[in-house]
Chain A
Amino acid sequence: MLQSVKKTTMRMPLVLLHECEYMVRKTFSLFAAEMNLATVVETSEISQAKIKLTDNKFDMIILGFDEWSQELHLIELIRSNMTTTKKDIPIIVILPNITQSQIDQLRQLNVSEIILKPTRIKTIQTAFTNSYKQL
């Protein structure tokens, strides 16, 4: 899959990675650049993420949850076509923990992958590759 991404894509996908953990953010960003997987825009504050979503047309969102309601609202904004980004792009979420009702909420918002913390970069990469098929 990684090979086919490299061969068939004219432009690298633009990914918003919102995550409060510096090591996850920075390592995935460097990794994606080194693998020619994606151009990653990093944010650590939800307000920054909203601005980036207004300024850029992303191909995928990787959204680390810190405080449930704000991040959920951000997904709702995207799915309601209230940002510059296309409303049906793949969204991967990373959470410290989750309940069944929260899973249901995320599924209703058509979240493509749910990852639990602590997470490995390799896990995010696998989710990225799976979600890429939707593009």
Chain B
Amino acid sequence: MIIAPKPDNEDKRLQALRDLLILDTTSEERFDRITQFAKFEFDVPIVVISLIDDDRQWFKSVIGLDVCSTSRDVAFCSHAILQDHIMIVEDATKDERFFDNPLVTGDPLIRFYAGAQLALPSGERVGTLCLIDQKPNTLDEVDLTILSSLRRMVVEELLTKPEKNLQKK
């Protein structure tokens, strides 16, 4: 397993994440509807809005897993936030970064991963919207653009204070 290095702007990135005042808050429908929609759209069992904190990834919204955080060292999303484009791992068992990762060798037996970076307007990548499957998979150009659109919605919500989030019909 290869542990992702921390980004060069880690201090600034962590400050931007904490300024959102979202870590360890309760689940919210405005995020859950995006993960629910992604689960149906891409037909995957696990969808997560993951925020990369100092030593953990914390899930603002999660479908298909019983945990709300994992160690940052094992997080696929720690690798994803280092990339400029959506990170696709078609089969984690064949990827040198992940083949012996405990999330691959044990529950939830990750095989497919697609992580779209959640980049704030200031440029800091605070986390990902990610799709996970227990069988190898891939995304085409249309899928990637849909995932990117959903990622933009997550970022919009991260930047919106809950009290300002009017009921959207």
Which residue of chain B lies nearest to A30 when distances are taken between CB atoms in the complex? Answer: B149
B142 at the interface (CB under 8 A from A): yes
Bound together, the chains give a CA A30 to CA B37 distance in angstroms of: 14
Q: A27's contact among B142, B143, B146, B169, by CB below 8 Å, is which? A: B146
Complex contacts, A20 vs chain B, CB 8 Å: 169
B153 at the interface (CB under 8 A from A): yes
Interface residues of A in 16-60 (CB under 8 A from B): 20, 22-23, 26-27, 30-31, 34-35, 44
A95 at the interface (CB under 8 A from B): no
Q: B148's contact among A22, A34, A44, A122, by CB below 8 Å, is which? A: A34
B40 touches A118 (CB 8 A): yes
Q: A30's contact among B33, B41, B153, B168, by CB below 8 Å, is which? A: B153
B169 touches A122 (CB 8 A): no
Q: B153's contact among A27, A44, A125, by CB below 8 Å, is which? A: A27
Which residue of chain A lies nearest to B168 when distances are taken between CB atoms in the complex? Answer: A22
B88 at the interface (CB under 8 A from A): no
Q: A122's contact among B37, B143, B152, B168, by CB below 8 Å, is which? A: B143
Complex contacts, A23 vs chain B, CB 8 Å: 33-34, 37
B145 at the interface (CB under 8 A from A): yes
Complex contacts, A118 vs chain B, CB 8 Å: 40
Q: How close is B149's CB to chain A, nearest CB, in angstroms?
A: 4
The binding surface of chain A is classed by DSSP as helix
A107 at the interface (CB under 8 A from B): no
Bound together, the chains give a CA A31 to CA B148 distance in angstroms of: 8
Q: Using known A-B contacts A44-B169, A120-B40, A122-B142, determine if residue A34 contacts B149 with beta carbons closer than 8 Å.
A: yes
Complex contacts, B34 vs chain A, CB 8 Å: 23
A121 touches B146 (CB 8 A): yes
Q: How close is A27's CB to chain B, nearest CB, in angstroms?
A: 5
Bound together, the chains give a CA A31 to CA B41 distance in angstroms of: 13
Which residue of chain B lies nearest to A120 when distances are taken between CB atoms in the complex? Answer: B41
Complex contacts, A120 vs chain B, CB 8 Å: 40-41
B142 touches A125 (CB 8 A): yes
Bound together, the chains give a CA A122 to CA B149 distance in angstroms of: 12
Bound together, the chains give a CA A125 to CA B148 distance in angstroms of: 15
Q: B145's contact among A26, A35, A44, by CB below 8 Å, is which? A: A35
Which residue of chain B lies nearest to A24 when distances are taken between CB atoms in the complex? Answer: B37
Q: How close is A46's CB to chain B, nearest CB, in angstroms?
A: 13
B150 at the interface (CB under 8 A from A): yes
Bound together, the chains give a CA A116 to CA B42 distance in angstroms of: 17
Interface residues of A (CB under 8 A from B): 2, 20, 22-23, 26-27, 30-31, 34-35, 44, 118, 120-122, 125
Interface residues of B (CB under 8 A from A): 33-34, 37, 40-41, 141-143, 145-146, 148-150, 152-153, 168-169
Can you give 9 contacting A-B residue pairs, CB < 8 Å? A2-B141, A27-B146, A27-B149, A30-B149, A31-B149, A34-B148, A121-B146, A122-B146, A125-B142
